[in-house]
Amino acid sequence: MSLPQTPSFRLDGKRALVAGASSGIGLACAVALGEAGAEVTLTARSTDNLEEAVSLMTAAGQTATSFAMDVSDIASTQAQVAENGPYDILVNSAGLAKHSAAVDTTEESFDAVANLNIKGAYFLTQAVAKGLIAAKRPGSLINISSQMAHVGGIDRAVYCATKHAVEGFTKSMAIEWGPLGIRVNTICPTFIRTPLTEQTFAIPERVKWLKEKIKLGRVGEVTDIMGPVVYLASDASALMTGTHLLIDGGWTAD
């Protein structure tokens, strides 16, 4: 008898592109992939924080580079991915939220959120897939979605709509590219403590509500996403595609 071997979580020899990597979840994902051995390219609209992140990752023995990329600029994004790819791994953490009551949603706000969260995510995923297809290489493409892709939320009609859409195109792309060895999945976090969520966590009654909804009784930290992203990027999740990992502390268990 021979014992089965656990598939490797290592990413040595893999090239990863992380969009929205200047802070928060995106930066945590970039570090996690770098720790697992991937050569990581960090991107965001501004390079200010990226340069510091690359310096720190390099000092820690990781391989990291960066360049500015605005995911909502489709033509520029496609050109940059084509020039610098192919990438074996994509993590798209670029996203936007403009919360308001549904009756107060403006067309301007709707378009801003939808253009980045749906259109930008769609064509970035497409661009990385095109590079893999041309190179005849498998890959793992991961979009950072949200628990709000599976439930509704007060003041979050537009945000929920965009994240539901991400789940939809993820499934369709997974079906199309599965025979080519390209996997497409999402990570769906609950409320994560980041610079962008400071305003929410500054309201005591909102924090109380969050902790009541999250069955584990605490909000998320960026470190809660680091293990899952390595799992989805690696051979450990080789049979996973067209699905999602809910990192929500039990929010959606009701």
Annotated catalytic sites, by residue?
159
Cis peptide before 195 (omega within 30 of 0): no
In sign, the C-alpha dihedral spanning 231, 237, 241, 242 is negative
How far apart are the C-alpha atoms of 104 and 99, rounded to whole Å? Answer: 10
Are the C-beta atoms of residues 167 and 125 closer than 8 Å to each other? no
Are the C-beta atoms of residues 33 and 230 closer than 8 Å to each other? yes
Are the C-beta atoms of residues 64 and 42 closer than 8 Å to each other? yes
* Burial profile 62-98: b = 16 or more Cβ within 10 angstroms, e = fewer: bebebeebbbbebeebbebbeebbbbbbbbbbbbbbe
